[in-house]
Amino acid sequence: MAPNLTLKTATGEKAKIQGKLDASIECGSRKFQHRVYVADITDSCILGLDFLQKFKFTVDLEKNEIRIGSNRNISLFSGSTQHRKRISDGKNVLSRQLCFEGCEPCSNAEK
């Protein structure tokens, strides 16, 4: 089970972390291994600065997209598929939707 961690939201509210898992996040033809924390929040997922910096993403807020290098643009806020994943304390949680087009969160999550 995740320790007593809380997530501070953009509005200043706190959301309890329900669990964590090591995930393979697939974006187009690329896969990224990263630790994912699960919380009951309104958004389907949030890509943190740690993920964006680790994998050298460029964020373009004017175009609402992120880039991997100079050749792959990924639109933000466009997914709609639902996924159910098992987190570290054994609970199954529903990921409300994909975080961006072409991304399959937790495709090879540890159980």
pLDDT at 11 over 90: no
For residue 54, the 8-state DSSP code is H
The 3-state DSSP class for residue 36 equals strand
Classify residue 92: in a domain, yes or no: no
Residue pLDDT, tens place only, 19-78: 888 988 877 677 889 998 888 887 777 778 888 899 988 888 888 888 887 667 777 765
- What are 14's two structure tokens? 């706190």
59-66: long-range contacts, CB 8 A cutoff, minimum separation 24? 66/100
Domain count, the chain: 1
Classify residue 100: in a domain, yes or no: no
Tell whether pTM > 0.75: no
Classify residue 90: in a domain, yes or no: no
pLDDT of residue 39: 84
